[in-house]
Amino acid sequence: MGVPIPIRGPLAVPFRIFGVTQSKMNPNICTICERAFRRVQKHQHVTAIVTILFADIRGYTRLSERMDPVELSEIVSVFQGQCAQAIWAHNGIVNKQMGDGLMAIFNFPIKIEQHAEMAMTAALDIQRRCKAALAALAARFSATPDKLGIGVGIHSGQVEIGEFSTVRSDFTAIGGTVNMAARLESQAAAGEILVSSESAALAPGLVTKSTRSLALKGIEHPVLAHVLIAGG
């Protein structure tokens, strides 16, 4: 995984012949990275310190009840595309896409020392990109609300990464860190990014004084989250 592989341009052609192409998780890495990692995963799980990002379209269920499925699919496609571009631009990987939501990992398999900062910057980029792109769609589709918004949750900590299914050969991260990021995202209003204290401590230059105490499902004590708003 330490040997550079050309994934763009003429030099990449011989590699494409053997199936070595850009990774769907992040086009800045190649499928050799994925294959090498998956071979390891068949034998063991990996413990890593990462930052997890969840993003979701607010009010999607209500929207799906009144919109044409084709138009709805276009909204989801734009959302997923804009999020992916923002995540890739900051060296994260798109680990899971779940319709109107996604999960991204920063600091695995691409090592990033400032992984919390990269995740937070990607989240701000997601909000900026999606605000413009979804506003354009809302203007076209009469059934959409005036403002389509995205909620984002971010948390940093230790996770277990591996293949946890015998049916599909696919890797993901599990553990309390993932659950916390998902819980934060569920509480984020449209246009908001909720960042845990752990992530905020790793990127103090990006956090604001705006905080919120949250009672999160499955978590005994209230959680203090930092509130970020793109442009705010």
The per-residue pLDDT for 152 is 98
**Do the beta carbons of residue 52 and residue 105 sit within 8 Å?**
yes
DSSP 192: E
Distance CA 60, CA 41 (A): 34
The per-residue pLDDT for 169 is 59
For the stretch 76-123, pLDDT in tens is: 999 999 999 999 999 999 999 988 999 999 998 888 899 999 999 999
155 falls in which pLDDT band (50, 70, 90)? very high
Distance CA 48, CA 36 (A): 17
**Higher-confidence position of 214 and 141:** 214
Distance CA 161, CA 108 (A): 9
The per-residue pLDDT for 38 is 54
- The answer for residues whose C-beta is within 8 angstroms of residue 119's C-beta and 6 or more apart is 51, 52, 53, 90, 92, 104, 106, 154, 156, 199
Task: Residue 124: name the closest of 150, 147, 100 by CA.
Answer: 150
Q: What is the mean pLDDT of residues 154-179?
A: 85
Q: What is the mean pLDDT of residues 35-55?
A: 73
Strand ranges, E, within 41-130: 46-57, 93-98, 101-106
CB atoms within 10 A of CB 208: 12
- According to DSSP, the residues that pair with 152 across neighbouring strands are 55, 193
Check pLDDT > 70 for residue 166. no
H-helix segments, 90-221: 115-140, 176-187, 197-202
Domains and CATH numbers, the chain: 1-44 (no CATH), 45-229 (3.30.70.1230)
Q: Which residue has the tokens 């993901």?
A: 172
Distance CA 13, CA 177 (A): 40
Residue type, 66: R
Check pLDDT > 80 for residue 15. no
For the record, the structure tokens of 36 come out as 């090498």
Distance CA 107, CA 149 (A): 27
3-class DSSP state of 126: helix
